[in-house]
Amino acid sequence: MLHYKLRQVSFPFADLVKLIPQKGSLWDVGCGFGHLVKLLATRNKRQEIYAFDIDSTKLRVSGVKWEVPKSRVEIITLIDVLYLLTDTEKINLLQSLFRKLKAGGKLFIATVPKEPSWRYYLAWLQEWVMVKLLGKTESKAGVINFETEDWLRQKLKQMGFRQIKRYRLPTTLFFWHKHVVLVATK
């Protein structure tokens, strides 16, 4: 499947894996095709890993098992998900993820921050094609709503995250993606 391969080469999954702890239960929310989950499982076969996506087709293509953890987890990853939600839905999701984390747990959010740059506008156009034109990515809200890094930091602080670190991931095949990872500690 072309969409599966494009996603694999358009996000620096291997670089993100280097940031994520190898110990502790992990839940990948909005896992898509499960690229991150597969890399993490290969790295540490004993790490307890859960995956969730609203698009069951992607999960079938990847063979990743859909699971929601019954108890709190140490790590949650949210990779290129928030732009598919309204601001209210973003806040609701982030609050529920905050509650799902154990004390000291970490939330990893990878996003393309909204900013006035050619890189951002090309990334937005790519997502518009995938969501609106081709329907390859599902947005329940029917929106493409990237947030600024400042907005996201402010909301995370308001929710009670005590520390927020920022990392910039290297660009990939689609050199216009300027992915930023915010690691918020509960």
DSSP 16-37: HHTTS-SSS-EEEET-TT-HHH
Residue among 16, 60, 58 nearest 40 (CA): 16
The model's pTM is 0.85
Tally: H helices and E strands in the chain = 7, 6
- What is the C-alpha to C-alpha distance for residues 181 and 165, in angstroms, rounded to an integer? 8
Q: What is the pLDDT of residues 107-142, one digit of tens each?
A: 999 998 887 776 667 776 777 776 666 666 766 666
Mean pLDDT taken over the chain: 84
Q: What is the pLDDT of residues 141-177, one digit of tens each?
A: 666 788 899 999 999 999 999 999 999 988 766 666 6
| Token duo for residue 171 | 């660009």
Give the CATH number, domain containing residue 159. 3.40.50.150
- Provide the domain limits for residue 133: 2-185
> What's the domain count of the chain?
1
Specify the 3-state DSSP secondary structure of 63.
coil
Task: Tell me how far apart the 2 most distant CA atoms of the chain are, in Å.
Answer: 43
Q: What string of H, E and C letters represents the secondary structure of 137-177?
A: CCCCCCCCCCCCHHHHHHHHHHHCCCEEEEEECCCCCCCCC
pLDDT at 109: 98
- What angle (nearest 5°) sits at the alpha carbon of residue 29, between those of residues 139 and 69? 135
